[in-house]
Amino acid sequence: MAPTRKLFVKTYGCQMNVYDSERMAETLGAQGYVQTDRADEADMILLNTCHIREKAAEKVYSELGRMKPLKMAKPDLRIAVAGCVAQAEGEEILRRQPIVDLVVGPQSYHRLAEMEARVARGGTAVDTDFPAEDKFDHLVARPRALRGPTAFLTVQEGCDKFCAFCVVPYTRGAEVSRPAAKVLAEARDLVDRGVREITLLGQNVNAYHGVGEDGADWTLARLIRALAGIDGLLRIRYTTSHPNDMSDDLIAAHGEVEKLMPYLHLPVQSGSDRVLKAMNRKHGAEAYRRLVDRIRAARPDLLLSGDFIVGFPGETEADFQATLDLVEAVGYGQAYTFKYSERPGTPAAERAQVPEDAKDDRLRRLQALITRQQRAAQDAMVGREVGVLFEKAGRMPGQMVGKSDHLHAVHVAAPGIAQGDLRRVRIVESGPNSLGGDLAAG
Ligand code: SAH
Ligand code: SF4
Ligand code: F3S
């Protein structure tokens, strides 16, 4: 048998990269690689990268720079760059950082083992194809190891929306949905290995339209209803959704499927119709607000999360005010705010830019509002009873920490709670980053 080699993986970007890193590590596991959390003892370093904003991409190059001494000390150390920077930059990465041996895009990572073998024979390997075959079919079966109570599961990948600021349609390619039977089989396998909560992933997960077990096209709602039938699976979430794909059956599922959690990430990006149009979002602010009302009518305790971009090219102070107004009106339990970042090759990068100090100012003001809303949503949980899925031991002796139905971190001090338990908890306090509670009676 070949000697064990060590693999160090570092993941940037979205949850899909987290999922992809797990699958790549499994594929390389079949080649004899075991994972290590120390880069300095690795035989292979794999950076799974994100290209969404300039800073994210630059981080990769500085990380590679820091790895240079490791490569000097151990010349047969393999350095691989995967993910969206790999897709966007390809060969350029080898030119800019010659310590890299292998560059693999998000749709080609089932070829990783074969590429690694090529590098072992000397030279480099680059693959940024969008192959016709399904990469998930070519990945090795998951090893049957037990795992923690929560997992991601990619059901849809790629994007056809082409928002004017975004690289994802270029790095991840066109929208593709996995067949429902494959998703269900993977979900059952995860549950057998201890998983209790699955978050379905897609760049536009609610545009899911995979072939169903009955041969018909299944929507995300149909898929969620089928997943809810799996014994032992206690919770279902999904992310990220586009407002225009929020179909009636999905909204209805929020009211009807008990395992579907009352939390929804539904980015709107801006509250100004003018900016939304320039962003190519294909809906206005009022339509978004009406949509949120309909979802909340189906599930009144839904906690809403969003993404916002400030300083998009052409955004005026009045446009920004419209974003503040929308946030005030909608009320978010959680939101992510970003300064617009120019991405080469996207339409918005060619337009007149908003000065950096205006972006900074708007970011600060929006963040202040959102922090206030987040805080209020968290504080409002005090006195309520919620479900908590326990994930790990807390910092205090005898304490366990988990996530509430609404995705708040909750700590509880009570004997006899095990990892993977879902219990009813009465919330008694709201701290800076988490809630505290007691097990509810009964
Ligand atoms: N598919 C998802 C997520 C895309 S990336 C969606 O449609 O919502 C996650 C977030 O990054 C986006 O929602 C957007 O707010 C932000 N983002 C994307 N491109 C950006 C850019 N060029 N500059 C700043 N933020 C950006
Ligand atoms: Fe990017 Fe827009 Fe597609 Fe989301 S919907 S991935 S923001 S292009
Ligand atoms: Fe980043 Fe690619 Fe995800 S650009 S956000 S890693 S899809």
Residue 48 sits in a domain whose CATH number is 3.40.50.12160
Nearest protein Cα to ligand 2, atom 5 = 161
C-alpha to C-alpha distance for 74 and 357, rounded to whole angstroms = 45
**172, 201, 204, 244, best to mutate for ligand 2 pocket (most atoms within 8 Å of CB):** 204
Residue 24 pLDDT grade (very low, low, confident, very high; cuts 50, 70, 90): very high
Please give the residue range of the domain that contains residue 87.
5-127
Mean pLDDT for the stretch of residues 141-163 = 88
Q: Is 102 a member of any domain? A: yes
Contact between residue 324 and residue 279 where contact means Cβ atoms under 8 Å apart: no
Task: List the single range of 24-33, 171-180, 251-260, 399-408 with lowest mean pLDDT.
Answer: 24-33
Q: Domain boundary at 79, 106, 127, which?
A: 127
Binding site membership of 336 for ligand 2 (Cβ less than 6 Å): no
Specify the pLDDT at position 136.
76
**11, 12, 15, 17, best to mutate for ligand 3 pocket (most atoms within 8 Å of CB):** 17
Mean pLDDT for the stretch of residues 181-206 = 96
Atom of ligand 1 nearest to the CA of 52: 19
Residue 213 pLDDT grade (very low, low, confident, very high; cuts 50, 70, 90): confident
Longest dimension (CA), the chain: 67
Residue 144 pLDDT grade (very low, low, confident, very high; cuts 50, 70, 90): low
The neighbouring-strand residues paired with 237 are: 199
Binding site membership of 171 for ligand 3 (Cβ less than 6 Å): yes
Mean pLDDT for the stretch of residues 285-305 = 98
| 414 phi, psi to nearest 5 deg | -160, 140
Q: Regarding beta strands 399-404 and 235-239, do their DSSP bridges make them parallel or antiparallel, or are they unpaired?
A: unpaired
Q: Is 333 a member of any domain? A: no
Q: Is 32 a member of any domain? A: yes
Q: What percent of the chain has pLDDT over 90?
A: 86
Q: Is 169 a member of any domain? A: no
Q: What percent of the chain has pLDDT over 70?
A: 98
Specify the pLDDT at position 2.
58
The helix or strand, by DSSP H or E, that contains position 251, with its residue range, turns out to be helix 248-256
Atom of ligand 2 nearest to the CA of 280: 2
Mean pLDDT for the stretch of residues 212-224 = 95
Closest listed residue to residue 423, CA positions, set 431, 433, 410: 410
Q: What is the pLDDT of residues 426-441, one digit of tens each?
A: 999 999 889 999 999 8
Ligand showing the shortest atom-to-Cα distance for residue 171? 3
29: left (phi over 0), alpha (psi -120 to 50) or beta: alpha
Q: What is the pLDDT of residues 65-76, one digit of tens each?
A: 999 999 999 999
Residue 83 pLDDT grade (very low, low, confident, very high; cuts 50, 70, 90): very high
Closest listed residue to residue 168, CA positions, set 220, 200, 205: 205
User: Which residues are near ligand 1 (CB < 6 Å)?
Assistant: 52-53, 165-166, 168, 203-204, 240, 242, 267, 269, 307, 309, 338, 340-341, 343
Specify the pLDDT at position 142.
58
Specify the pLDDT at position 1.
52
Give the distance (Å) from ligand 2 centre to CA of residue 77.
36
C-alpha to C-alpha distance for 112 and 60, rounded to whole angstroms = 19
Mean pLDDT for the stretch of residues 131-160 = 82
Give the distance (Å) from ligand 3 centre to CA of residue 264.
19
| 135 phi, psi to nearest 5 deg | -60, -30
Domain count, the chain: 2
Atom of ligand 1 nearest to the CA of 203: 1
**163, 275, 307, best to mutate for ligand 1 pocket (most atoms within 8 Å of CB):** 307
CB contact set of 436 (below 8 Å; sequence gap of 6+): 410, 411, 412, 427, 428, 429, 430
Specify the pLDDT at position 141.
59
Give the distance (Å) from ligand 1 centre to CA of residue 165.
8
Q: Domain boundary at 86, 109, 127, which?
A: 127
Give the distance (Å) from ligand 3 centre to CA of residue 196.
26
Ligand showing the shortest atom-to-Cα distance for residue 53? 1
* Other residues' Cβ atoms within 10 Å of the Cβ of residue 359: 21
Mean pLDDT for the stretch of residues 368-388 = 97
Mean pLDDT for the stretch of residues 227-233 = 98
Binding site membership of 343 for ligand 3 (Cβ less than 6 Å): no
DSSP string spanning 79-119? EEEEHHHHHHHTTHHHHH-TT--EEE-TT-GGGHHHHHHHH
Q: What is the pLDDT of residues 166-175, one digit of tens each?
A: 999 999 999 9
Q: Is 278 a member of any domain? A: no
* Other residues' Cβ atoms within 10 Å of the Cβ of residue 336: 14
Q: Which tops the pLDDT comparison, 129 or 365? A: 365
C-alpha to C-alpha distance for 402 and 313, rounded to whole angstroms = 41
Q: Is 395 a member of any domain? A: yes
Residue 262 pLDDT grade (very low, low, confident, very high; cuts 50, 70, 90): very high
DSSP string spanning 189-234? HHHHTT--EEEEE-TTGGG-EEE-TTSSEEEHHHHHHHHHTSTT--
Give the distance (Å) from ligand 2 centre to CA of residue 393.
37
Burial letters 90-115, b for 16+ CB under 10 A, else e: beebbeebebbbbbbbbbbbbbbbeb
Q: Domain boundary at 108, 127, 146, which?
A: 127
Q: Is 92 a member of any domain? A: yes
Q: What is the pLDDT of residues 93-141, one digit of tens each?
A: 999 999 999 999 999 988 988 898 899 888 899 999 888 777 777 776 5
Q: Regarding beta strands 209-211 and 217-219, do their DSSP bridges make them parallel or antiparallel, or are they unpaired?
A: antiparallel
Please state, rounded to an integer, the average pLDDT across all residues of the chain. 94
* Other residues' Cβ atoms within 10 Å of the Cβ of residue 307: 14
Asked if residue 53 has pLDDT above 60, the reply is yes
Mean pLDDT for the stretch of residues 399-417 = 96
Binding site membership of 53 for ligand 2 (Cβ less than 6 Å): no
Residue entry with tokens 């139905």: 405
Task: Read off the CATH number of the domain in which 395 is found.
Answer: 2.40.50.140
